[in-house]
Structure 1
């Protein structure tokens, strides 16, 4: 599964060169009009915020928070790590929760850490509960997806991070943010903390949250199912077509670097079908889901992907299990792994309960009545419906910043977005 994750990045970046039509840049406004394209391309260089370089980041390793044997094939995901950067003077500490499948070392963690550090925060970035690292070292239940247990695990990890701070690091308060699934989790953590009272977050910012997690991931499933010719078996042809679309860029003689500038250059010069972009997003999501499903199945011996009587060694071929993992839709994951797990060994949690627990509409009263919680998103975010955008606008009022374009996290590192984030967290 390690190679599967690496392939997900390579495939997403290569195939993204197949893009749709672009808007012409204008006076600082985010330039990409299509929400799907914005999601995979991100922010071009000339629109990015200028943030401090050379910060003293530390990758910290923690002792496991749960007792669990590490299967040989998952040893790559040890130890449990988080990323931190601390101020020399007394300062508040901001926690950042990574999005689906992401580790604490992701580029978004680094960028957000730099942005918050610049306005006076020490920062700790945490891995997503859907990452194998978290599942191994921090999850009481190694099948991610039940919001209340994932939130309790994150809250416990925050306490461990707080306890891991150096004696000379003086914390004057706490703040919280996260992106995508991490943003949804941040909302539920804020509600949990309102009762538990360990942190008393002064500011909580939700960046492109899912409103109804299960509805959002089913939209990602449909992007793949509806736009990839031949379904899963059509992937080789899809990749070959993406590689062919790069020939013009290779021919330019410029060094080829897979970054947001390269993707934007491809976006401005190519004009293939918009369905390719939708397929890219669905495919990237499916790769993250496959990694999570494989890890959950191996750790719990669920007998869905790897037969219960098979003991995989660190050098055994994973090809048949990668195929099975990748063929699972999110509905399959819910029914065959998540629901099955929570209805085994004496547990009895209906599917409807698991789904409802991950819907922000269930805590609307808390969100509406808490002036310290804000939300940033885009009207063209493909994980949201129009009704869910309306819910965020109505629930948060003036605390909602909903831009007309930017897709899902595409405008996160833009000057306008970073400035708004810093303003939100400034005293």
Structure 2
């Protein structure tokens, strides 16, 4: 009888704990596809005052002719009318400053009274071409330094041109942008250029290689061979053409998700779709890094300004992130750092554990993720618990970034940024 009562009590407590968090999408793939770009918070305007900017860097002068459209590092500012705190928003893997998710955070923070600067991912071609010193992203400290420097340039530009009055400076990022937020906080603890008051990390990758491999495998394990990817891409392209006007034709992770979110897909089909969306980012990464470094892994020639790109992308043959690390990143860093460098060393440089000692002693940082975030290994979730302790929260559901615009999540984020007190209870 006592054992029965004990079991019943545990069940009741479990139900109560999970009942308190009412995010409606319990399947992590549904949450990722449907929820990751959808604002589920009341009172957020559809549009906020936004102005776009461009900085011509030294590297901007060396952009290949066929990539002319990427000349100049681009970003945006949403400015309050008077004095206000400023927050930088770091985009997820490969996403631009004006991607749907980044713009959603821009709306949320502007509505909460912040000046907002949006920052493109280090894995986006615009960043690689104009900002990246290595031109081979994937090493956290090196990428962080590039980000740190260009964010200083961004801030200088808007201060000069917009007469911006700032009280305090904050930082947040989602997905890979969250990972870089931690690195930037570490760099700023030494550089003191921004003196970030608080930092908020949403669904960070802990080990870049592990997370990327998981996403690669979500496509690979659900197809027979690479030839099948072409058929899937054709299906996606047909759907894109039917649902997006030619003037808005951008094949991004978010546009793919928006088209397929209303379709009833099996778990296998959703895994494949998430893996394909990530693969499109990897294709672009492989192509741009190969071309601007002249490594000729995928092509022996450089395209002219208006050349057809088909033969170049055909040569890449849906190369994924693992291909990028093996074919481009590791050989580059082996050449730069010497013959004793092992592949696992490069993987370590893409792991937040390299700044563990800093993170575990820094109370101004909060990290949130989800129990069912498939880009994290169990040891990664344990790392978040051990390092950030009471400054962390692992929601029971939400997939990867699927619940970051949900009311509960947004309220906790804004409360911490405003007060410095994090409520880590559901």
TM-score (normalised: structure 2): 0.84
Q: Describe the SS at the equivalent of 1:172.
A: strand
Q: Equivalent of 1:63, from 53, 56, 59? A: 56
Deviations 1:273-306 (A, max 9, x none): 3111111111111110110110011101011112
Q: Describe the SS at the equivalent of 1:419.
A: helix
- Say if 1:277 and 1:54 are closer, same or farther in 2 by CA, change over 3 A: closer
Q: Describe the SS at the equivalent of 2:96.
A: coil
Task: State the 1:54 CA deviation.
Answer: 3.8
Structure 1 position 209 matched with structure 2 position 204: yes
| Residue of structure 2 in register with 1:398 after alignment | 390
Q: How many aligned residue pairs are there? A: 385
Structure 1 position 423 matched with structure 2 position 418: no
Measured in 2, the distance between the counterparts of 1:60 and 1:411 equals 30
1:246-285 equivalences under 5 Å are 263-266=260-263, 270=264, 272-285=265-278
| Residue of structure 2 in register with 1:344 after alignment | 335
Q: Describe the SS at the equivalent of 2:52.
A: strand
| Residue of structure 1 in register with 2:13 after alignment | none
- Say if 1:136 and 1:239 are closer, same or farther in 2 by CA, change over 3 A: closer
Measured in 1, the distance between the counterparts of 2:51 and 2:348 equals 37
Structure 1 position 220 matched with structure 2 position 215: yes
Task: State the 1:115 CA deviation.
Answer: 1.3
| Residue of structure 1 in register with 2:310 after alignment | 319
Task: State the 1:361 CA deviation.
Answer: 2.0
1:344-363 equivalences under 5 Å are 344=335, 349-363=341-355
Unaligned runs of 5+ in 2: 1-18, 244-254, 420-426
Deviations 1:352-394 (A, max 9, x none): 3321122122222221211110012111111011221122122
Unaligned runs of 5+ in 1: 1-25, 250-257
Task: State the 1:396 CA deviation.
Answer: 1.4
- Say if 1:326 and 1:202 are closer, same or farther in 2 by CA, change over 3 A: farther
Structure 1 position 373 matched with structure 2 position 365: yes
Q: 192-201 or 315-324: which moved more?
A: 315-324
Q: Equivalent of 2:108, from 99, 109, 115? A: 115
- The answer (yes or no) to whether the contact 1:92–1:175 under 8 Å persists in 2 is yes
- Say if 1:200 and 1:170 are closer, same or farther in 2 by CA, change over 3 A: same
- The answer (yes or no) to whether the contact 2:41–2:406 under 8 Å persists in 1 is yes
- Say if 1:226 and 1:69 are closer, same or farther in 2 by CA, change over 3 A: same
| Residue of structure 2 in register with 1:193 after alignment | 188
Compute the RMSD of aligned alpha carbons: 2.6
Measured in 2, the distance between the counterparts of 1:262 and 1:280 equals 11
Measured in 2, the distance between the counterparts of 1:37 and 1:342 equals 38
- Say if 1:46 and 1:209 are closer, same or farther in 2 by CA, change over 3 A: closer
Task: State the 1:43 CA deviation.
Answer: 5.7
Structure 1 position 234 matched with structure 2 position 228: yes
- The answer (yes or no) to whether the contact 1:51–1:115 under 8 Å persists in 2 is yes
| Residue of structure 2 in register with 1:126 after alignment | 119
Deviations 1:252-273 (A, max 9, x none): xxxxxx797875543xxx3x43
- Say if 1:243 and 1:325 are closer, same or farther in 2 by CA, change over 3 A: closer
- Say if 1:243 and 1:73 are closer, same or farther in 2 by CA, change over 3 A: closer
1:27-176 equivalences under 5 Å are 29-42=22-35, 47-66=40-59, 68-167=61-160, 168-176=163-171
Measured in 2, the distance between the counterparts of 1:306 and 1:362 equals 35
- Say if 1:43 and 1:125 are closer, same or farther in 2 by CA, change over 3 A: closer
- Say if 1:392 and 1:265 are closer, same or farther in 2 by CA, change over 3 A: same
- Say if 1:158 and 1:243 are closer, same or farther in 2 by CA, change over 3 A: closer
- The answer (yes or no) to whether the contact 2:37–2:100 under 8 Å persists in 1 is no
1:378-389 equivalences under 5 Å are 378-389=370-381
Q: Describe the SS at the equivalent of 1:32.
A: coil
Q: Describe the SS at the equivalent of 2:98.
A: coil
Task: State the 1:181 CA deviation.
Answer: 0.9
Deviations 1:30-54 (A, max 9, x none): 2111112211122696944431344
Measured in 2, the distance between the counterparts of 1:283 and 1:241 equals 12
TM-score (normalised: structure 1): 0.83
- Say if 1:329 and 1:30 are closer, same or farther in 2 by CA, change over 3 A: same
Deviations 1:230-268 (A, max 9, x none): 22211344467779999xx9xxxxxxxx797875543xx
Q: Describe the SS at the equivalent of 1:390.
A: helix
